[in-house]
Every structure is written in C-alpha cells, then in structure tokens.
Chains A and B, each alone.
Chain A
C-alpha cells in the first residue's frame, strides 16, 4: 500500500519530472544501522527522496522515526551505513567539505555557549568558514537585525529567552549564506507566538534569498503551515510524500460524525451506512463515526436514507482530514504515540 501511495503522490508533485529543477538533496537508498554489542538497530532504511531548489520540505514523523538521523547523515555529521546521496550537487560520501561550506544547520540542541556573548559566537563561527572578522560582524549585525535580535548582540547567551536563542541558532546557521539549510525541530519548546514568528522568518528566508529549507518536525500544524512538501517517515522509512493538500486529499477522507437519539438508532444507522457502501462505521453509544471520500456530497443521500428508516439525526459533523489523520491512516498510530 505504501509504495502505491508513494507513486501516486510522486506523479502529481509539481517538481517531479521537471528536469530543470535542481535537486539540492537527492537521497538514494540512504540507510543507517547502529551496531551495539548484542544487536543492530536500523534507524533509517533505504530512504529515497529529492528536495528541489527553493522548496521548503518538511520531514514529518514521531520521535525516534529516524528524522534526525537522516538529517545528520545528509549534513555530514553521521557516517552513512548504506546508500548514497548528493547534497547541494556534491557527493555526500566523498565531497563532505564542499557540502559543509554550502549548507547551514540549525540543530535542536542549540549552537551557542551559555557564557559567550551572542555577537562573539556568530563572529567566531563565521571565521570557521573563512569569513574575515570584519565581514562577519557586518553580516552578523545584518542577520540580527532581520531576526529582531539587534539588542542581543552584546548579551550573554544564557540571559536570552528560548525564542531569542533559537533565532540566534538560525543566524549562526545562515552567516555563511548557505544554499540549503537543515533545521531540526526548529520550534520545539517555543510558545505559540514565538513559533508563528519563527515560521515567518523561515518563509522570508526562502522568499527573499531562494534558500532551500529542509526541516524536521513532529508538529502537524507546523508541517501544514510552513512546508511546500512533506515527507512522512515512520520506523526509519519514508511512507508518503506530497504537498500537505495532496496528502490530505489522497490518503485520508472526510470524517462524518452522526449523533442519533438512542443506541438502537445508532445500530440501525450502522446498517444504513454499510448498505450505502461506506463500510461498517465506528459506533460509540449514540455516536456513529465513519469516513467517506467527500463528506459534502455524501450528506444529502445519507440524510434521505436515514429519513426513510425514521432515524432522527440530532447532530451532524463533517470534518476535513488533518495531517494527523494522514499519519494515522498510514501508520496506524498517531504522532503522539
């Protein structure tokens, strides 16, 4: 089932098949196996995907699904066990330094020392890319301004708020003007306002500079709001890919929730739903829940059939699928599991 979905979605992805789209990441059979004395853990298995220039692509999956490990391999921090990849058009296995000077990484762990001043950290970091201290200061101040961090230049990192510190991590990852930026859980631990603010900054980065962004997240709303395209990963494998809209329309259907007067009515409603070809619904007391391809189209017919059986629906609710539903239908688990 998974490969079927993969093929379906791939065909309708805007970039697929366009030869002029430049692949900033192209992963072919990328795998990571951690060996301990007693066992082997397959953290990532046979992952294939492309990320094109100028895209914001989200890597979505629960904790431990292999998101971070894949990202660490692609950003040259972890050795690849099997497979190959090209990143910013260089070979991951043999041209790591070429890749390193062209990518930026914003790690979920952070990037700055508590006791260091924010401005100092960014200037030192820039020098690791061969940027002169003077140029580093100029670029750093520019970035701080763009990220609303101007007053924080002289402050010690330990005195900054979570949101400010995350924005400094982003500035650190951008100081050498990378073509591709990896962001690992960029908004984890931030309050809703800081998250929305950070999303704006990430979007601006792509819109203004054409930077390609590859981020991991386990927040559905983040993937939905921010990403042009989503890769869903579970247990080390990519199980689906597509735009948020495609994933929602192709994989999961609308959910209809009916409330009837009695439990007997609920049972009768179950038969009606079954006879209309939508399968056996989930019944809970006087509540009936089932999925149809198109809720709005299905509703009139359903109400008519219920009326014929003299069943009174006292409550009807149709909800469009969320990425949560997508994930549930693909893996049988919710993201929070």
Chain B
C-alpha cells in the first residue's frame, strides 16, 4: 500500500519532468524510425535468402527494432539518475520515510511507459509500410517489451548508482550493449549465422526474446517460442530489479 503510494509519487514526478523536457524521448524515437526507413528497404531484398526465417520481411524486422527500443530506450536512463544524485534529489528522497524500493520502481514505470509509447509509434509507422498484425500480437509484444525495458532500466540505474559517474557509466553501458545487440539477431536473424555463433547467441537472453517476438508477429500465439521468451524476460526483469535495489541499499554503506 505504502509501497504503491510512494512508487506513484516518484513516478508522477519523473513522468512530469520527462514530459516537460521531451527532447530525449524524441531523440530516442528518431533512431528506430531511421532504421525502419533507411534499413528496412534493404532487408526486403535479402528476405529471399535461404535461412531467412519464415514470415515477410517486416514481420522479421519490426520485432527486432522493438527489442532494440526496449534495450536502448532504457539502457541509458542511468545518466538521469546521476544528475539527480548530484543535485541531492536521490538523498532527499531517501531521507523521507519511503519504501526503499519505491524510488527505482517509480522511475522504471516511467521508463516503461516511454518505451511503450515509442513502440506504439513504431508499430503504427510499420503499418504504413505494409506490416499487418493482430491486436493480440501488439498487446503481447508490448508486454514483452515492457519487461525488457524494466530489465535494462534497472540495470542502468544499478550501474549508475554504483559508479555515480557519467564517465564510468557510458563505457560500461556501451560495452554491454554491443555484444547483446550483435548476439541477439535484432537486425539480421541468428538463423543466418554459422553454427558456433548461434551456440554463443543461445546464452544471450535477449535473443530468445527476439525469437519470441517474431513468433508473435507471425501469429503463433502461446507457442513454445513465445512462452520461453516470456519466462526469460520475466526472470531477467526480476533479477535486474533485485540488483537495482541492492544498489540503492549499498548507497548507505
């Protein structure tokens, strides 16, 4: 009850501040749109290659972009909390009798909502390019993306609070994001990759989420791929939340 109330207050504050200063929301939205417009057409021509997964090119490509949005839209939120920590905002919130875990959950809900709005914009835009998916697919995909965004936003906050330095956060995030991206089959499906690369990518949870999302875009609701992806994304979200709250606790050490 108190946890919900505290979370809601923190969420409302951070959401209002984001809306009052929407430049970052716009910038992070422009990137996937550029991918869609400038990279999508190339993909159309290689969709005929043997080994390319079933479904039309947009059904393969848009899920990848959604996952990219979930990872990158959320992975850089840590910069915001470093600025707030430096301004004393984090400390003055922790000095109030709030539930310790409410601080991050309020921020993470804001991050999830921003990513979902961006996802909706992207799905709408893809419709103009010829993507056709059901309402159920949209709901399921956004649910998965929400958990994914929660995961990376918790992780970003954890690293940010542990380092308290933009100069340390940037290289850590970048060096994590690149292999996650390359080994997830976001842009090109991993089924095109040689065997050894496929085996490595099996250890990347994000790959299974991409696979699940593509299955959902093909309309294979509640198949094995989707269930596996959903379970994985929930587990990593829980783990990330745990790590994030650990970082809050260790501020008092």
B95, CB-defined interface residue at 8 Å: yes
Q: Which residues of the partner chain A approach B84 to less than 8 Å between Cβ atoms?
A: 113
A152, CB-defined interface residue at 8 Å: no
Which of A75, A112, A115, A120 has a CB less than 8 Å from the CB of B95? A75
Question: Which residues of A64-79 are within 8 A (CB) of B?
Answer: 75-79
Q: Which residues of the partner chain B approach A116 to less than 8 Å between Cβ atoms?
A: 13, 17, 20
Q: Which residues of the partner chain A approach B92 to less than 8 Å between Cβ atoms?
A: 105, 107, 111, 125, 172-173
Q: Are B91 and A77 in contact (CB under 8 A)?
A: yes
Q: Are B20 and A100 in contact (CB under 8 A)?
A: no
Q: Which residues of the partner chain B approach A225 to less than 8 Å between Cβ atoms?
A: none
Question: Which residues of A104-156 are within 8 A (CB) of B?
Answer: 105, 107, 109-116, 120, 124-125, 127-130
Q: Which residues of the partner chain B approach A129 to less than 8 Å between Cβ atoms?
A: 96-97
Q: Which residues of the partner chain A approach B253 to less than 8 Å between Cβ atoms?
A: 78-79
A97, CB-defined interface residue at 8 Å: yes
By secondary structure, the A interface counts as loop
B86, CB-defined interface residue at 8 Å: yes
CA distance A120 to B19 in the complex (A): 14
Considering only CB atoms, which chain A residue lies closest to B16 in the complex?
Answer: A120
B218, CB-defined interface residue at 8 Å: no
A101, CB-defined interface residue at 8 Å: yes
Q: Are B17 and A128 in contact (CB under 8 A)?
A: no
Which of A103, A105, A113, A124 has a CB less than 8 Å from the CB of B87? A113
CA distance A40 to B55 in the complex (A): 61
Q: Are A128 and B93 in contact (CB under 8 A)?
A: yes
Q: Which residues of the partner chain B approach A130 to less than 8 Å between Cβ atoms?
A: 5
B192, CB-defined interface residue at 8 Å: no
Q: Are A128 and B21 in contact (CB under 8 A)?
A: no
Q: A112-B89, A127-B9 are in contact. Are A77 and B95 (CB under 8 A)?
A: yes
Q: Are A77 and B252 in contact (CB under 8 A)?
A: yes
Q: Which residues of the partner chain B approach A78 to less than 8 Å between Cβ atoms?
A: 252-253
Q: Are B87 and A112 in contact (CB under 8 A)?
A: yes
Q: Are B252 and A115 in contact (CB under 8 A)?
A: no
Which of B6, B83, B87, B251 has a CB less than 8 Å from the CB of A128? B6
Q: Could you give, for residues 73-92 of chain A, a 1 whenever the CB lies within 8 Å of some chain B CB and a 0 otherwise? A: 00111110000000000000
Q: Which residues of the partner chain B approach A124 to less than 8 Å between Cβ atoms?
A: 9, 12-13
How many residues in B have their beta carbons less than 8 Å from beta carbons of A?
A: 27
Considering only CB atoms, which chain B residue lies closest to A169 in the complex?
Answer: B88
Q: Which residues of the partner chain A approach B252 to less than 8 Å between Cβ atoms?
A: 77-79
Closest Cβ of chain A to B45, distance in Å, is 45
Which of B16, B88, B251 has a CB less than 8 Å from the CB of A111? B88
Q: Which residues of the partner chain A approach B13 to less than 8 Å between Cβ atoms?
A: 116, 120, 124
Q: Are B6 and A109 in contact (CB under 8 A)?
A: no
Question: Which residues of B66-109 are within 8 A (CB) of A?
Answer: 83-84, 86-89, 91-98
Q: A78-B252, A112-B87, A113-B89 are in contact. Are A105 and B95 (CB under 8 A)?
A: yes
Q: Are B6 and A110 in contact (CB under 8 A)?
A: no
Q: A128-B96, A129-B96 are in contact. Are A109 and B20 (CB under 8 A)?
A: no
Q: Are A115 and B97 in contact (CB under 8 A)?
A: no
Q: Which residues of the partner chain A approach B97 to less than 8 Å between Cβ atoms?
A: 97, 100-101, 128-129
CA distance A173 to B10 in the complex (A): 17
Considering only CB atoms, which chain B residue lies closest to A115 in the complex?
Answer: B21
CA distance A76 to B253 in the complex (A): 11
Q: Which residues of the partner chain B approach A111 to less than 8 Å between Cβ atoms?
A: 87-89, 91-92
Closest Cβ of chain B to A133, distance in Å, is 10
Q: A77-B95, A78-B252 are in contact. Are A115 and B88 (CB under 8 A)?
A: no
Q: Which residues of the partner chain A approach B5 to less than 8 Å between Cβ atoms?
A: 130
Question: Which residues of B151-175 are within 8 A (CB) of A?
Answer: none
Q: Are A113 and B96 in contact (CB under 8 A)?
A: no
Closest Cβ of chain A to B253, distance in Å, is 6
CA distance A173 to B98 in the complex (A): 15
Closest Cβ of chain B to A293, distance in Å, is 45
Q: Are A109 and B21 in contact (CB under 8 A)?
A: no
Which of B17, B20, B88, B95 has a CB less than 8 Å from the CB of A76? B95
CA distance A78 to B252 in the complex (A): 4
CA distance A190 to B12 in the complex (A): 32
A78, A97, A116, A120: residue with the most chain B Cβ atoms closer than 10 Å: A116
- A-B pairs, top 7 by smallest CB distance, nearest first, are A109-B88, A100-B97, A110-B88, A128-B96, A111-B92, A101-B97, A124-B13
Interface residues of B (CB under 8 A from A): 5-6, 9-10, 12-13, 16-17, 20-21, 83-84, 86-89, 91-98, 251-253
